[in-house]
């Protein structure tokens, strides 16, 4: 019997190798995984089990060679993220992966294995969060950043320094009296949820495919070939590990490493727990699972590391992972449920979004009955059908997503979903521009587009009109009380009383909120107009550069392009928006209703920090880079990573190098940290 099953098992092993090779390609290189991490881990385990059963001596290749997986000189077996167009860099110490477990017993077995090596004594561990981002290795020679490199195939990675220079917390140098001659510091690049949502919204507006989660978007960003484009997407960074180090004994333990890099003001994780035994490590793992949702970075587990570097060396590593560390993966917030229907929504730009209607399911503390299906291609790629059992997850812990179909439960009678060819609201035939992922309703008068436009205008990120949510907007449009944006300012108390859900007081509150919005900041109005490609940061720039809408609406594409952060696509979109007589009419009408269509600074609130460009260099004692950047931005200034003729101020701490020289050449004002602090304390004195 056993012998008979061998060929079958071998066939399964080959299939697994092939499939995992494809999934590695999708995850690491293309940042577009098709299956969940859990499913991937499950396949990987099956592969490991089968290969140890069929091939105990390890003679069989354990990695299917994909086109880019060249023979690996050090035999490291990790996925490969390298793409064409980047310079290669060989890590001084290989970047390994980690063994995973979802099982408490397996964690204690890991400890048992190690204790066997060290005479069965309790071992010191460090417990840290496992950040779900993109691995990076930063090399510092003589205290200066030499390069930032991706993991690549574990041995050689891509040099991505240029794409990370806009990360304010990226340490350009080590500001300390004592540091190693050479060091590789390992960490993770990630993206905050807010930035992820902002970029996806922009993608949707441009009819481009959206990213499923912040990790994929961060991975896509570090691999952009144009650093200017990468600069438009705010990445963040956190560091937790040591690669090569000269001298090798500079650090004797993981906890010492953490404390030292914190002293160097490197961005570190907030949960680093030193414990004297595995049972206490387990307690910390459980604590971390509760705290991790508060962190700015996405986490999917805990990493437990043997603290002593000496012991780490003694325990060694396999081809894939160190024996002295393990990651305990937390159960992700996901559930299986039934996909009852797929409905089609029309967005404010006419983009058609399919939405999954689910049998309600409890997920991360909320009852979920809707999930995004992104676009027609996504439904086709995952072959999602009405009636399927689907795995639902909160992507980046916020937006519910359909991860995959549970194919075992699919009914024989199910049929592929057929995407509609006409708008479900106004029945206009849908159109799709070649190469774009979203279908669009081309009818600008489509009531759902208008609803979307009004909701967006009133939203928190724009005019922030409280109580003007979707239910109210729906009625206002359906009853034709609002047919254009400016109609909002025509609304009277008596109109609202016609709507369901309004009484005297609530009607007055909404009328007051609409009235108050007339003096909102100018950038919020620009943003609320929903001009294609123009989001909040561009709107802020526009409001800084154009004092009122009369000047703004007459600007040329060249005038727009001269503004930092505005490219030609956005410039042409602005010009075409202001060329439309209908749009000008709406703006004129708003002005007649008393909407303030100009910057308040014109009214006397000018801040001398507005538009001033700062560059930070050297070490700051009282601030982290991030804190200093935030203070500047809060006062209306901007932070740039490099000195140019446009730079207004260079804040130079000890250890400032080439930037100081360049700033002196350009005649940029140079501030010490103390001078900088005194300006922050008295912002009006900046240009005095
Ligand atoms: S230690 C040789 N610590 O997880 C030690 N890795 O699945 C390997 N990761 O490639 C890395 N958080 O990109 C370590 N606190 C942490 C981590 C961490 C996230 C990533 C890292 C690694 C991957 C392995």
Q: Which residues pair with 650 in a beta bridge?
A: 615, 670
Q: Where are the domains of the chain?
A: 1-77, 88-329, 334-409, 447-592, 613-685
Residue 611 has a pLDDT of 75
Alpha carbons 261 and 579: distance in angstroms, whole number: 54
List all residues 6 or more positions away from 616 whose beta carbon is below 8 Å from its beta carbon.
Answer: 168, 625, 628, 629, 639, 650, 651
Residue 45 has a pLDDT of 82
List all residues 6 or more positions away from 8 whose beta carbon is below 8 Å from its beta carbon.
Answer: none
Residue 211 has a pLDDT of 77
Banded pLDDT at 602 (limits 50, 70, 90) = very low
Determine the straight-line distance between the first and last CA of the chain, rounded to whole angstroms: 90
Ligand 1 atom at minimum distance from 322 CA = 2
Mean pLDDT on 148-166: 94
Calculate the average pLDDT of the chain. 87
Residue 205 has a pLDDT of 67
What is the whole-number distance in angstroms between the Cα of residue 678 and the centre of ligand 1?
41
Mean pLDDT on 78-86: 83
Secondary structure (3-state) at 199: helix
Cα angle, residue 393 at apex, residues 389 and 398 outer, rounded to 5°: 145
CA nearest ligand 1 atom 16, residue = 130
351 backbone dihedrals φ, ψ, rounded to 5°: -65, 140
Alpha carbons 579 and 682: distance in angstroms, whole number: 43
CA nearest ligand 1 atom 2, residue = 96
Residue 74 has a pLDDT of 41
Q: Indicate the range of 120-124, 381-385, 604-608 predicted with least confidence.
A: 604-608
Residue range 334-409, CATH number: 2.40.50.140
CA nearest ligand 1 atom 21, residue = 135
Ligand 1 atom at minimum distance from 327 CA = 7
Return the H-helix or E-strand segment holding 344: strand 334-346
Alpha carbons 466 and 455: distance in angstroms, whole number: 11
Contact assessment for residue 258 and residue 126, using Cβ atoms and an 8 Å cutoff:
yes
DSSP letters of 602-651? GGTT--TTTT-EEEEES--SS--HHHHHHHHHHTT-EEESS--TT--EEE
Q: pLDDT by residue (tens digit) across 229-252?
A: 888 899 999 999 999 999 999 999
* Torsion sign (Cα): 162, 168, 171, 172: positive
Return the H-helix or E-strand segment holding 343: strand 334-346
Residue 606 has a pLDDT of 63
Contact assessment for residue 327 and residue 431, using Cβ atoms and an 8 Å cutoff:
no
CA nearest ligand 1 atom 23, residue = 97
pTM, full prediction: 0.56
Residue 62 has a pLDDT of 47
592: pLDDT strictly greater than 80: yes
| Long-range CB pairs of 329-332, under 8 A, 24+ apart, other chains included | 329/37, 329/38, 329/41, 329/100, 329/101, 329/102, 329/130, 329/300, 329/301, 330/289, 330/292, 330/299, 330/300, 330/301, 330/302, 331/102, 332/36, 332/37, 332/38, 332/300, 332/393
482: pLDDT strictly greater than 80: yes
Residue 3 has a pLDDT of 44
CATH architecture of the domain covering 1-77: Orthogonal Bundle (1.10)
CA nearest ligand 1 atom 1, residue = 241
Q: pLDDT by residue (tens digit) across 26-70?
A: 777 777 777 777 778 788 888 888 877 776 654 454 443 333 333
Q: Is the peptide bond before 276 cis (omega within 30 degrees of 0)?
A: no
Residue 283 has a pLDDT of 97
Alpha carbons 674 and 672: distance in angstroms, whole number: 5
Q: Residue 167's CB: how many other CB atoms inside 10 A?
A: 20
Residue range 88-329, CATH number: 3.30.470.30
What is the whole-number distance in angstroms between the Cα of residue 299 and the centre of ligand 1?
11
Residue 9 has a pLDDT of 78
Ligand 1 atom at minimum distance from 240 CA = 15
What is the whole-number distance in angstroms between the Cα of residue 97 and the centre of ligand 1?
6
Banded pLDDT at 411 (limits 50, 70, 90) = confident
Q: Which of 94, 93, 137, 96 is nearest to 246 (CA)?
A: 93
Burial 500-529, CB ≥16 within 10 A → b, else e: eebeeeebeebbebbeebbebbbbbbbbbb
155: pLDDT strictly greater than 70: yes
Secondary structure (3-state) at 362: strand
CA nearest ligand 1 atom 12, residue = 130
Residue 191 Cα distances to 130, 217, 452, angstroms: 15, 8, 27
Give the catalytic positions in this structure.
130
What is the whole-number distance in angstroms between the Cα of residue 130 and the centre of ligand 1?
6
CA nearest ligand 1 atom 18, residue = 130
Mean pLDDT on 403-408: 90
What is the whole-number distance in angstroms between the Cα of residue 476 and the centre of ligand 1?
52
Ligand 1 atom at minimum distance from 269 CA = 15
Residue 114 has a pLDDT of 97
Cα angle, residue 447 at apex, residues 441 and 450 outer, rounded to 5°: 90
Q: Indicate the range of 113-122, 283-292, 379-388, 426-435 predicted with least confidence.
A: 426-435
430 backbone dihedrals φ, ψ, rounded to 5°: -75, 150
172: pLDDT strictly greater than 80: yes
Looking at per-residue pLDDT, the higher value among 45 and 383 belongs to 383
Looking at per-residue pLDDT, the higher value among 682 and 581 belongs to 581
Superfamily of domain 613-685: BRCT domain (3.40.50.10190)
Superfamily of domain 447-592: 5' to 3' exonuclease, C-terminal subdomain (1.10.150.20)
% the chain with pLDDT above 90: 55
Ligand 1 atom at minimum distance from 97 CA = 24
For ligand 1, pick from 77, 189, 239, 327 the residue to mutate: most ligand atoms within 8 Å of CB: 327
Residue 72 has a pLDDT of 41
Ligand 1 atom at minimum distance from 325 CA = 5
169 backbone dihedrals φ, ψ, rounded to 5°: -85, 0
What is the whole-number distance in angstroms between the Cα of residue 188 and the centre of ligand 1?
8
Looking at per-residue pLDDT, the higher value among 662 and 70 belongs to 662
Mean pLDDT on 620-640: 80
Residue 165 has a pLDDT of 92
Q: Which residues pair with 598 in a beta bridge?
A: 548
Q: Residue 544's CB: how many other CB atoms inside 10 A?
A: 17
Residue 77 has a pLDDT of 53
Residue 296 Cα distances to 132, 173, 224, 494, 627, angstroms: 11, 24, 23, 45, 15
Q: pLDDT by residue (tens digit) across 295-330?
A: 888 888 999 999 999 999 999 998 889 999 999 998
Looking at per-residue pLDDT, the higher value among 26 and 90 belongs to 90
User: Which residues surround ligand 1 with Cβ inside 6 Å?
Assistant: 96-98, 128, 130-131, 135, 151, 188, 240-241, 303, 322, 325, 327
Looking at per-residue pLDDT, the higher value among 56 and 485 belongs to 485
Mean pLDDT on 389-393: 92
For ligand 1, pick from 27, 94, 98 the residue to mutate: most ligand atoms within 8 Å of CB: 98
What is the whole-number distance in angstroms between the Cα of residue 279 and the centre of ligand 1?
22
Query: Identical fold at 88-329 and 334-409?
Result: no
176: pLDDT strictly greater than 60: yes
Banded pLDDT at 14 (limits 50, 70, 90) = confident
For ligand 1, pick from 95, 101, 241 the residue to mutate: most ligand atoms within 8 Å of CB: 241
Secondary structure (3-state) at 62: coil
What is the whole-number distance in angstroms between the Cα of residue 317 and the centre of ligand 1?
14
DSSP letters of 145-157? EEEEEE-TTSSEE
Mean pLDDT on 449-478: 93
């Amino acid at each position: 019997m056993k012998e008979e099953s061998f060929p079958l098992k071998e066939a399964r092993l080959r299939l697994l190798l092939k499939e995992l090779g494809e999934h590695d390609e999708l995850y690491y290189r293309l940042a577009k995984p098709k299956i969940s991490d859990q499913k991937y881990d499950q396949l990987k385990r099956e592969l490991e089990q089968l290969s140890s059963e069929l091939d105990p001596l390890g003679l069989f290749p354990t990695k299917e060679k994909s086109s880019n997986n060249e023979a690996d000189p050090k035999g490291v077996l990790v996925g490969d993220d390298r793409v064409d167009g980047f310079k290669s860099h060989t890590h001084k110490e290989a970047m390994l992966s980690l063994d995973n477990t979802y099982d408490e017993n397996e964690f204690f077995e890991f400890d048992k294995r190690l204790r066997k090596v060290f005479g069965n004594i309790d071992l010191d561990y460090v417990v840290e969060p496992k950040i779900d981002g993109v691995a990076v290795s930063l090399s510092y020679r003589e205290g200066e950043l030499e390069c930032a490199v991706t993991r690549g195939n574990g041995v050689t990675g891509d040099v991505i320094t240029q794409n990370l220079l806009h990360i304010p917390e990226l340490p350009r140098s080590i500001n300390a009296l004592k540091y190693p001659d050479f060091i590789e510091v390992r960490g993770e690049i990630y993206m905050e949820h807010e930035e992820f949502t902002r970029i996806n919204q922009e993608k949707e507006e441009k009819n481009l495919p959206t990213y499923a989660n912040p990790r994929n978007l961060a991975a896509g960003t570090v691999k952009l070939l144009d650093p200017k484009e990468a600069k438009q997407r705010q990445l963040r960074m956190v560091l937790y590990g040591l690669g090569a180090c000269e001298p090798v004994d500079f650090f004797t333990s993981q906890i010492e490493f953490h404390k030292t890099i914190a002293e160097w003001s490197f961005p570190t994780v907030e949960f680093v727990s030193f414990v004297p035994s595995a049972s206490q490590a387990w307690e910390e793992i459980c604590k971390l699972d509760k705290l991790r949702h508060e962190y700015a970075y996405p986490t999917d587990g805990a990493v437990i590391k043997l603290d002593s570097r000496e012991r780490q060396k003694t325990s060694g590593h396999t081809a894939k992972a160190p024996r002295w560390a393990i990651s305990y993966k937390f159960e992700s917030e996901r559930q299986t449920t039934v996909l009852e229907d797929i409905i089609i929504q029309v967005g404010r730009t006419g983009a058609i979004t399919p939405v999954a209607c689910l049998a309600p399911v409890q997920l991360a503390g909320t009852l979920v009955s809707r999930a995004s299906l992104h676009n027609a291609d996504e439904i086709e790629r995952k072959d999602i059908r009405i009636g399927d059992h689907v795995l639902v997850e909160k992507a980046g812990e916020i937006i519910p997503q359909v991860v995959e179909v549970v194919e075992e439960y699919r009914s024989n009678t199910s049929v592929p979903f057929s995407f509609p060819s006409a708008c479900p609201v106004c029945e206009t035939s849908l159109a799709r521009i070649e190469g774009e992922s979203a279908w669009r309703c081309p009818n600008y008068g489509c009531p759902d587009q208008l609803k979307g436009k009004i909701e967006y205008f009133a939203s928190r990120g724009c005019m922030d009109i409280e109580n003007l949510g979707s239910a109210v907007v729906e009625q206002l449009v359906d009853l034709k009380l609002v047919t254009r944006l400016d109609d909002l300012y025509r609304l009277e108390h008596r109109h609202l009383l016609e709507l369901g859900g309004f009484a005297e007081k609530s009607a007055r509150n909404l009328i007051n909120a609409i009235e108050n919005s007339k003096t909102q900041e100018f950038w919020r109005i620009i943003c609320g107009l929903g001009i294609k490609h123009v989001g909040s940061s561009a709107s802020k720039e526009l409001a800084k550069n154009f004092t009122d809408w009369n000047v703004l609406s007459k600007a040329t594409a060249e005038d727009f392009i001269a503004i930092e952060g505005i490219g030609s696509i956005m410039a042409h979109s602005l010009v075409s928006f202001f060329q439309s007589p209908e749009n000008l009419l709406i703006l004129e009408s708003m002005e007649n209703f008393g909407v303030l269509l100009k910057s308040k600074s014109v009214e006397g609130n000018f801040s001398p920090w507005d538009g001033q460009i700062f560059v930070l260099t050297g070490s700051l004692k009282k601030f982290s880079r991030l804190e200093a950047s935030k203070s500047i931005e809060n006062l209306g200034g901007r932070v740039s990573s490099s000195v140019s003729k446009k730079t207004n101020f260079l804040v130079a701490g000890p250890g400032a190098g080439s930037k100081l020289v360049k700033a002196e050449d350009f005649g940029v004002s140079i501030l010490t940290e103390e001078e900088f602090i005194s300006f922050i304390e008295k912002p009006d004195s900046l240009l005095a």
